[in-house]
A = this chain, B = another copy of it.
Amino acid sequence: MGSTSLEHRVKELEKVCRSRGFPLTIQRRVVFEAIVERDDHPSADQILEQIKERVPDISRTTVYRILDTFVQLGLITKICHPRSVARFEPKTHQHHHLVCMHCEQIIDLEENRLNGIAFPDVSCHDFQITDYHIHFRGICSGCRSKAVGSELPP
C-alpha cells in the first residue's frame, strides 16, 4: 500500500473529473488526496484541519462542497449515524462496518463471506436493490476497558 494506491486513486479522480467535465482544481485534488491518505472516516472539519497546512486559505464551505461533489461522482461515500456528524470514506467497493455504540467510532470490516448474501425477495415492495451494507453494532476495545456499566439497556 502507500503512494502507489494514492497515485492510482488520484488518476481515477482525474479521469472522472475529465469525463464528466468537472474542472480539476487544486482544492479538489488536495481534498481528495487528504481523504484517500487516511484509513479512517473523517468529517468535513477533520479534512479541513488536515489540509489547512497545505492550503491555508481554503474555506470550510469549499471542503463541504467538494466532498459533496465527490459523493455525487461516486468517488467517496458519506456515512451518517446517530449522535455524530457526517463522515466520509474513500472506499467505494463493498465492505462493512463495526460501529461502537459508545464512542461512535467506525471500523472497516472486509470479509468476503459477507459480500455474497442473496438479495431478499422484495417484489411486494417493488423495490430495486442495488447493493447492501452491514452495520455491526457493539463496543470497541477502548470503550469496553473504561466501561462502568451504567448505560446501554439490553
**Residues of chain A at the chain B interface (Cβ within 8 Å):** 71-74, 78-83, 86, 96, 98, 100-101, 107, 109, 111, 113-114, 117, 119-120, 122, 125-141, 144, 151-154
Asked if B141 and A127 make an inter-chain contact with CB atoms under 8 angstroms apart, the answer reads yes
Asked if B129 and A132 make an inter-chain contact with CB atoms under 8 angstroms apart, the answer reads no
Secondary structure call for the A interface: mixed
The one of B72, B114, B128, B140 in contact with A153, judged by C-beta atoms closer than 8 angstroms, is B72
Copies of the protein in its oligomer = 2
Given A131-B136, A133-B137, A134-B135, output 8 extra A-B contacts at Cβ < 8 Å.
A78-B82, A101-B130, A119-B136, A120-B136, A122-B136, A126-B144, A131-B137, A132-B137
A83 to B117, CA, bound (A): 27
Q: In whole Å, how far is A47's beta carbon from the nearest beta carbon of chain B?
A: 16
**CB contact under 8 A between A139 and B127, given known A74-B153, A82-B79:** yes
A154 surroundings in chain B (CB, below 8 A):
74
The one of B80, B132, B153 in contact with A80, judged by C-beta atoms closer than 8 angstroms, is B80
- CB closest chain-B residue, reference A120: B111
A109 surroundings in chain B (CB, below 8 A):
120, 122
